[in-house]
Amino acid sequence: MRRTIPGLFDRFGAFGGSIKKSVTNLRTLYRWALIGLTVGVIAGIVAIAFFIGLEVASDFFLGTALGIQLPVNGAPPPATPFDWTTNPSTFWILPAMMAAGGLGVGGLVTWVSPETEGHGTDQAIRSFHRGRGVVRARVPPVKFLASTLTLGTGGSGGREGPTAQIGSGIGSIVGGPLGLSTKERRIAIMVGVGAGIGAIFKAPFGAALLASEILYISDFEPDVIMPAILASVISYSIFGVYDGFGPEFVTPSGLGFTPEQLPVYALLGAICAGFGILYVLWFSSSRRWFAKSGAPKYLRPAFGVAIAGAIFAAAYYLVPQENHLLAVGSIGIGYGFVQWLVFQNSLTPILLVIVVALIFLKIGATSLTVGSGGSAGLFGPGVVTGAFIGFAVAGLMTVALPGLVTGADFAAFAVIGMMAFFGSVSKAPIAVILMVVEMTGSESLLVPAMVAIFVAYFLTGHHHLYTEQVPNRLESPSHTTEYFSEYLRRVPVSSVLARDVGTVSPETNVAVAAAMLRDAPVPILAVLRGIDLIGEVRMADVLEIPPSEQILTPVLAILRENPPPVYPEMDVLSALGVMDQEETDAVLVFTPGRPRTLTGVLTRERITQFQNGAGSQR
C-alpha cells in the first residue's frame, strides 16, 4: 500500500517533523509570493489609472471650468510669491460644482455599491475581520469613479482611503483564480491595501507595515507584512516608471534637530493630540448628523460638499489676503500647499493666522466631505493638517524662543507634525512614521519624530478614526479558533448563541431585508412561513440583487434552503467548522429533533466576545 507523505514524516520522528515543517514553510513562502506578485502587478497598474483619473478630473472641473490652478508637490516651488492662481469671476461656482460631483457620488453609493460610501479604509478593515476577506468585484471600479468625482470637483479628502478599498478589492478578486483559502484571502485584501497605498504615495515599506498595523488599535497582523512588502515594491516600481521615483514632498537640504529642541517637539506632539481628538470628534459627529438628518442617502454627499464649498467661497471673497490662501488651501488633497509652505523660512503675522485658520477649515471641510458619504480618504487631509500644525507651532516658537527655533526649522516641524497628528489618530504610529519618512526623505528626523508621536499617541488615548479597528488579534473574529481551539471544543453552542434572530416571510421584498440586515447585529435573517423555518438569507445574497430591483424581488428568490445543521448541544469548535465550510460568519441554530424550529443564531463575533470574557476570568 502506498504510504502518504505525512505518514513518512511521522515514521522518521523528529527528522521527519523537521522536513514536514520545512515543506509547510516552503508552501507558505510560495503562497506569499503568489499573492504578492499578482496583487502587486495589478495594484501598480490600477494606481497609475487612478492617479491619471484624478489629474484629468481636477484639470477639467477646477482648471478648465473654474480657472483654479492649484500648486503641485514633488518639486521645489517657483520663486514667485504664490504658486497658484484663481479666477474671482468664477470661483463662486465652486459650491455648485462640488454639489454636482456629490450628487453623482450619492447615486453610485446608493444604487450601485453601498460599500463604497465614505473613506473606504474601514470597509477594508471590516472585510478582514468580519467579511471573510470578500469584497465584491464591483467595488474597485465604483470606488474609482466615486473618488474621482469627489476629489476632482474640489472635495476635501485624500487618496489613501479609496486606494485602500480599491486595493482590497483587487486582493479579493484574485483570490478566486488563485484558489485562496479564507485565511489567505484575508491576507490578500490587506496586501492589496498596502500595494495600492505604497504605489500612489511612493512609500512601499511604510505602506506594507500600515496594511498590517491599521487592522488593530495596539497590534499587528504578522502574516500580512511579508507578502505586502513584495506587493508594495512591485506596485511602487510600476507606478514609479510612470510618475518617477522621487518622494511625494521635496524638502530643503540639511534638515535636522538639536537635543535642546526635543521638549518643543514634545509640545508639538501634545498640540497634535489636541487637534487629533478634534478631528475624530468632528468627523464622527458629521457622520452621525448626516445619518440622522432624514435626507435621502443619495443626496447626503451633495449636501456635505455643498456646505464645504459655500465655506470655501465665503472665505475666498471675505479673506483675500495671501492670494486667497485660506479658501484655496482646503480644496482637494492640499499637498501642493504643504510643498509651498515647506520652502517658506518665515511666516508673516497674517500668514501665521491664516495657517492656524486652515487647520480648523481643513478638519471641518474633510468632516463634511467624507462624513456625509463622499468618497475620499482621511490620511491625505491628516498629513496636510499635521503639516499646518507644524508650521504654526514653528512660527509661534520663532517668536517665543527665537534662539531655539529658527526659520530653517519650519520644514522639520511640518514633517514631524504630519507624523504625530495622523499617526496618533490612526493608531498606526510606526507605519505612519515610516511612510512620512519615505514621502519626504527626512530620516534624519526620526528621533524628534519618536518623541512627538509618543506624546500624541498617549494623549489621544481611545480616540481613533477607524471604527472597525479591534484592540488586538485576540479580539478579531478572523482569529476565533487560533488561541482557544481546545477550549471551544468543550463549550456547547447553547452557551454562546444569541436568541434574538431577525425573521422575514418569503414574500417580503429584498429591499426590506437589506434594511433589516444593515441595522441588525448579525448578517443573517431567518425566513419563516408561519412558525416553520424554510431557509435563510445572508447579506451576501442581498448584495447580489441590484438596488433598483430589490423592491420588486421577493426574499423567496434569494432564499437559501436547507441551512447547515447546527444544534445547541454541538460544540462551538464544530460549529465554527460549519461556518468555515459555508464561508459565513453566522449560522442559525435549530431545536434538536425539530429542524424547522429556530432556537437562535451563532456568530463569530459572539464567540470572540465569549472567548474574551472567558480569558478575562482566568
List the alpha helices (DSSP H) in 59-138: 94-111, 121-129
Q: Say whether both 176 and 313 belong to one domain.
A: yes
DSSP letter (8 states) at residue 552: T
Q: Tell whether the model's pLDDT for residue 1 goes beyond 80.
A: no
pLDDT tens figures, 301-359: 999 999 999 999 999 999 999 999 999 999 999 999 999 999 988 888 999 999 999 99
- Please give the Cα distance from 522 to 463 (Å, whole number): 26
Report the pLDDT value the prediction gives residue 25, as an integer from 0 to 100: 67
Q: Say whether both 454 and 510 belong to one domain.
A: no
Report the pLDDT value the prediction gives residue 458, as an integer from 0 to 100: 94
DSSP letter (8 states) at residue 560: B
Average pLDDT of the chain, as a whole number: 88
Q: Say whether both 221 and 271 belong to one domain.
A: yes
- Please give the Cα distance from 601 to 614 (Å, whole number): 20
Confidence of residue 481 (pLDDT cuts 50, 70, 90): low
Q: Say whether both 58 and 143 belong to one domain.
A: yes
Size of the chain, expressed as the number of residues it contains: 618
CATH number of the domain encompassing residue 385? 1.10.3080.10
Confidence of residue 483 (pLDDT cuts 50, 70, 90): low
The listed range with the strongest mean pLDDT (24-33, 377-386, 486-495, 573-582) is: 377-386
pLDDT over 70, % of the chain: 94
- Please give the Cα distance from 164 to 192 (Å, whole number): 7
- Please give the Cα distance from 277 to 216 (Å, whole number): 18
Residue 474 lies in a domain: no
Residue 584 lies in a domain: yes
Of residues 115 and 385, more confidence is placed in 385
Task: Give the DSSP letter string of 502-525.
Answer: -EE-TTSBHHHHHHHHHHSSSSEE
> How many structural domains comprise the chain?
2
Confidence of residue 160 (pLDDT cuts 50, 70, 90): confident
Task: Give the DSSP letter string of 356-409.
Answer: HHHHHHHHHHHHHHHHTT---BSHHHHHHHHHHHHHHHHHHHHHHSTTTS-GGG
Those residues with Cβ within 8 angstroms of residue 510's Cβ, 6 or more apart along the chain or in another chain: 542, 545, 549, 550, 551, 553, 554, 555, 557, 558
Residue 390 lies in a domain: yes
CA nearest neighbour of 162 among 263, 274, 47:
47
Residue 504 lies in a domain: yes
Cβ atoms 134, 171 nearer than 8 A:
no
Residue 336 lies in a domain: yes
Confidence of residue 482 (pLDDT cuts 50, 70, 90): low
Mean pLDDT to the nearest integer, 373-400: 94
Mean pLDDT to the nearest integer, 437-452: 90
Report the pLDDT value the prediction gives residue 7, as an integer from 0 to 100: 45
List the alpha helices (DSSP H) in 153-221: 160-178, 182-200, 204-213
The listed range with the strongest mean pLDDT (553-557, 579-583, 588-592) is: 553-557
Confidence of residue 613 (pLDDT cuts 50, 70, 90): low
Q: Say whether both 157 and 77 belong to one domain.
A: yes
pLDDT tens figures, 175-205: 888 888 788 889 999 999 999 999 998 999 9
Report the pLDDT value the prediction gives residue 24, as an integer from 0 to 100: 52
Those residues with Cβ within 8 angstroms of residue 23's Cβ, 6 or more apart along the chain or in another chain: 5
Q: Tell whether the model's pLDDT for residue 376 goes beyond 90.
A: yes
Q: Residue 530 sits in which domain range?
A: 480-616
CATH number of the domain encompassing residue 588? 3.10.580.10
Q: Tell whether the model's pLDDT for residue 555 goes beyond 70.
A: yes
Burial status of residue 523 (CB atoms within 10 A of its CB: 0-12, 13-18, 19 or more):
buried
In this structure, the strands spanning 532-538 and 524-529 are: antiparallel
Report the pLDDT value the prediction gives residue 518, as an integer from 0 to 100: 77
Of residues 182 and 50, more confidence is placed in 50
In this structure, the strands spanning 586-591 and 532-538 are: unpaired
Of 431, 460, 489, at which residue does a domain stop? 460
- Please give the Cα distance from 387 to 453 (Å, whole number): 14
Q: Say whether both 118 and 200 belong to one domain.
A: yes
Confidence of residue 367 (pLDDT cuts 50, 70, 90): very high
The total of other beta-carbon atoms located within 10 Å of residue 64's CB is 10
Residue 18 lies in a domain: no
Of residues 66 and 611, more confidence is placed in 66
Q: Say whether both 84 and 118 belong to one domain.
A: yes
Element (H, E) at 601: strand 594-603
Q: Say whether both 298 and 223 belong to one domain.
A: yes
Q: Say whether both 396 and 490 belong to one domain.
A: no
- Please give the Cα distance from 452 to 420 (Å, whole number): 6
* Residue appearing with cell numbers 488651501: 329
Mean pLDDT to the nearest integer, 435-449: 89
For the four alpha carbons of 363, 402, 321 and 82, in that order, the dihedral sign comes to: negative
pLDDT tens figures, 128-137: 988 878 888 8
Instruction: List Cβ<8 Å contacts ≥24 apart for 513-522.
Output: 513/537, 513/542, 513/555, 514/542, 514/550, 517/542, 521/605, 522/498, 522/586, 522/601, 522/603, 522/605
For the four alpha carbons of 408, 84, 59 and 95, in that order, the dihedral sign comes to: positive
Cβ atoms 459, 273 nearer than 8 A:
yes
**Predicted TM-score (pTM) of this structure:** 0.81
Of residues 497 and 597, more confidence is placed in 497
470: region left, alpha or beta (phi > 0 left; psi from -120 to 50 alpha)? beta
Confidence of residue 475 (pLDDT cuts 50, 70, 90): confident
Q: Tell whether the model's pLDDT for residue 598 goes beyond 70.
A: yes
Report the pLDDT value the prediction gives residue 595, as an integer from 0 to 100: 65
Rg (C-alpha) for the chain, rounded Å, is: 26
Write phi, then psi, for 533 (nearest 5 degrees). Answer: -75, 130
Cβ atoms 367, 285 nearer than 8 A:
yes
Residue 317 lies in a domain: yes
Residue type, 35: I
Confidence of residue 28 (pLDDT cuts 50, 70, 90): confident
Q: Say whether both 441 and 574 belong to one domain.
A: no
Residue 529 lies in a domain: yes
- Please give the Cα distance from 582 to 203 (Å, whole number): 38
Q: Say whether both 174 and 225 belong to one domain.
A: yes
Mean pLDDT to the nearest integer, 72-79: 88
pLDDT tens figures, 486-536: 778 888 998 898 888 888 999 999 989 988 887 777 888 999 888 888 889
Of residues 331 and 31, more confidence is placed in 331
Q: Say whether both 209 and 343 belong to one domain.
A: yes
Report the pLDDT value the prediction gives residue 181, as an integer from 0 to 100: 79
Report the pLDDT value the prediction gives residue 6, as an integer from 0 to 100: 43
